[in-house]
């Protein structure tokens, strides 16, 4: 069944990418811009092209209606799109979820659902301890498609593959403003030939990217808590463990969390995002392979890629995760195989710079419109390190 889901996802998204090939070609000059982080995945190229297309439409309308050209001149829209292109691949939070760009403030997101006509489970045995010893449901699942009506006889049982949808409305915006006094601006220009507002503009863009990462991590954590938590405590007193050998049992706690996800969804997790104390423990495991990339420092205030655990997990660290927690989950091959969907509408909007004659400050504001939607919390689980607990539970 897992392979079937994967094939359905790949077929659907291949069609999406092929239909969007003209859009990708239109924005290829920005997707392949020199000096920018690479965007090579076919679906990610399509998704970024869709964000750029929608932003171009919205920003062009804004520029025409409110004349936002005093700072960037006639290149206003081009400048905004260029900044959106820079932010997108640097937001590591996008590696934790699937992306479905929206071309309007209200729309739909889609996800995959496979059901039987009798609503029985797809080979998943009951979770309670007594029933778990009874394999009758597993046997029934194994023989579900058996045909006993003979050649030409009516098929008794069936399944349906549904691409289900959820209505989404972009109900909120992220907004902030920056300001610099006339004295600061003139002094900075005089001493270092630097533009104070340009520096503040970069800081504002960093803040927006950082908050995007934090919001995505928060959604992952809420989904993980809702589904299930495995607690990793201190070594049981009745057993003989050294501190070093017991700490390696953290791997077992992670496996237990994996089991929660697999039993509920028949899929394996492949991402992990941790707090700093939990990351220290992970780094001590033999299966952990650290990696430092040029993006490590760029992402220092958001989600930081730190390495891999075995061949299964890409591991990230975030200050948005409590120090003693490990969140594990699945980022599917695409948005149909996903637990959480990020739906961007307008990647970035920046106003003109306005000089307030009453305060003698230059002011500029920024905005971003998007939505984050959880469609299946069963693809996430949490491991919590708790020194007040004993053993693994």
The string of pLDDT tens digits covering residues 299-354 is 455 688 889 999 899 898 988 899 999 999 988 666 666 788 888 887 777 777 88
Give the pLDDT confidence score for residue 315 in this predicted structure: 92
Handedness of CA 393, 133, 264, 246 (dihedral sign): positive
Across all residues in the chain, what is the average pLDDT?
A: 79
For residue 200, the model assigns a pLDDT of 86
pLDDT classification of 170: cutoffs 50, 70, 90:
confident
298/392: higher pLDDT: 392
pLDDT for res 68 = 56
Q: How far apart are CA 279 and CA 317, in angstroms?
A: 7
In the predicted structure, residue 5 carries a pLDDT above the cut 60: no
Give the distance, in angstroms, between the CA of residue 354 and the centroid of all CA atoms in the same chain: 35
Alpha carbon of residue 20 to chain centroid: 22
Give the Cα separation of 210 and 26 in Å (integer): 29
pLDDT of the residue at 99: 80
pLDDT at 1: 41
pLDDT band at 45, cuts 50/70/90? Answer: confident
Q: How many whole angstroms separate alpha carbon 274 and alpha carbon 278? A: 6
User: Locate tokens 């920046």: which residue?
Assistant: 350
75 pLDDT exceeds 80?
A: no
Instruction: Return d(Cα 90, Cα 322) in angstroms, integer.
Output: 23
pLDDT for position 2 = 45
Give residue-wise pLDDT tens across range 238-291: 777 766 788 889 999 999 999 999 888 878 899 999 999 999 999 989 899 987
Under DSSP, the state recorded for 352 is P
Provide mean pLDDT across the span 169-191: 86
Q: Which residues of 41-57 are buried (b: 16+ CB within 10 A; e: fewer)?
A: ebbbbbbbbbbbbbbbe
Whether residue 96 contacts residue 374, with contact meaning beta carbons closer than 8 Å, is answered with no
CATH number of 2-113+162-390: 3.90.1690
Determine the longest span between alpha carbons in the chain, in angstroms: 91
Place of tokens 């509408």: 345
Contact 364, 177 (CB under 8 A): yes
Q: What band does 389 get if pLDDT is binned at 50, 70 and 90?
A: very high
What does the DSSP assignment read for 39-99?
--SHHHHHHHHHHHHHHHHHHHHHHHHH---TTTGGGHHHHHHHHHHHHGGG-GGGGGSEE
Contacts of 384 (CB under 8 A, 6+ apart): 229, 230, 231, 232, 324, 325, 326
Taking residues 195-220, report their average pLDDT. Answer: 84
**How high is the pLDDT of residue 298?**
47
Lowest pLDDT segment from 29-38, 74-83, 278-287: 74-83
Q: Which residue has the higher pLDDT, 144 or 18?
A: 18
346, 212 Cβ separation under 8 angstroms: no
Helices (H), ranges, the chain: 2-19, 21-26, 28-31, 42-66, 76-87, 136-142, 182-192, 196-227, 243-247, 250-265, 276-283, 295-298
Q: What proportions of the chain, in percent to the nearest 5, are helix, strand and coil? A: 40, 25, 30
Q: How far apart are CA 182 and CA 196, in angstroms?
A: 10
Q: State the pLDDT confidence band at 369, using cuts at 50, 70 and 90.
A: confident
The predicted pLDDT at position 279 comes to 92
The set of residues, in sequence order, having a beta carbon less than 8 Å from that of 304 and lying 6+ positions away, is 92, 296, 316, 317, 318
* pLDDT > 80? residue 110: no
Q: Is the pLDDT of residue 364 over 60?
A: yes
DSSP 3-state assignment of 234? strand
Output the pLDDT for position 92: 67
Q: Is 295 or 365 the better-scoring residue by pLDDT?
A: 365
What's the pLDDT score for residue 380? 94
What percent of the chain is predicted at pLDDT more than 70?
Answer: 75
Tokens 């689980």 belong to residue: 381
* Residue 122: predicted pLDDT: 55
Higher pLDDT, 21 or 111: 21
Q: Tell me what pLDDT residue 226 has.
A: 94
* C-alpha triplet 348, 372, 53: angle, nearest 5°: 40
Cα-Cα end-to-end distance for the chain: 30
Name the band, by pLDDT with cuts 50, 70 and 90, for residue 297: very low
By C-alpha distance, which of 381, 382, 133, 139 is closest to 265?
381
Q: Contact at 8 Å (CB) between 348 and 197?
A: no
Residue 121 is predicted with a pLDDT of 57
């Amino acid at each position: 069944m897992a392979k079937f889901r994967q094939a359905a996802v790949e077929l659907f998204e291949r069609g999406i990418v092929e239909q969007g090939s003209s859009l990708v070609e239109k924005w290829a000059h920005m997707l392949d811009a020199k000096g920018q982080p690479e965007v090579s995945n076919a679906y990610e190229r399509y998704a970024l092209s869709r964000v750029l297309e929608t932003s171009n439409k919205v920003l062009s309308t804004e520029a025409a209606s409110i004349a936002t050209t005093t700072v960037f001149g006639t290149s206003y829209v081009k400048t905004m799109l260029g900044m959106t292109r820079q932010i997108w691949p640097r937001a590591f939070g996008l590696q934790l979820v699937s992306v479905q760009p929206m071309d309007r403030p209200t729309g739909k997101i889609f996800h995959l659902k496979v059901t039987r006509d009798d609503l029985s489970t797809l080979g998943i045995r009951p979770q309670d301890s007594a029933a778990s010893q009874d394999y009758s449901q597993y046997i029934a699942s194994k023989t579900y498609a058996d045909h006993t009506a003979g050649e030409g006889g009516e098929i008794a049982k069936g399944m349906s593959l549904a691409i289900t949808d959820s209505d989404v409305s972009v109900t909120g915006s992220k907004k902030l403003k920056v300001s610099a006094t006339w004295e600061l601006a003139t002094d900075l220009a005089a001493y270092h030939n630097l533009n104070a507002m340009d520096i503040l503009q970069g800081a504002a863009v960093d803040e927006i990217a950082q908050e995007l990462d934090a919001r995505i991590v928060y959604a992952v954590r809420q989904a993980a808590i809702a589904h299930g938590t495995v607690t990793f405590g201190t070594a049981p007193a009745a057993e003989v463990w050294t501190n070093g050998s017991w700490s390696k049992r953290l791997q077992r706690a992670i496996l237990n969390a994996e089991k929660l996800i697999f039993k509920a969804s028949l899929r394996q997790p492949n991402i992990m995002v941790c707090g700093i104390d939990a990351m220290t423990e992970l780094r001590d495991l033999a299966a952990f392979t650290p990696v430092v990339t040029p993006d490590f420092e760029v992402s220092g205030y958001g989600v930081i890629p730190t390495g891999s655990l075995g061949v299964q997990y890409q591991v990230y660290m975030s200050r948005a995760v409590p120090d003693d927690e490990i969140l594990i989950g699945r980022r599917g091959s695409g948005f149909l195989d996903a637990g959480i969907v990020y739906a961007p509408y307008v990647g970035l909007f920046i106003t003109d710079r306005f000089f307030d004659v009453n305060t003698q400050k230059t002011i500029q504001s920024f905005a971003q419109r998007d939505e984050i939607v959880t469609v299946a919390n069963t693809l996430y689980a949490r491991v919590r390190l708790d020194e007040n607990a004993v053993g693994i539970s």
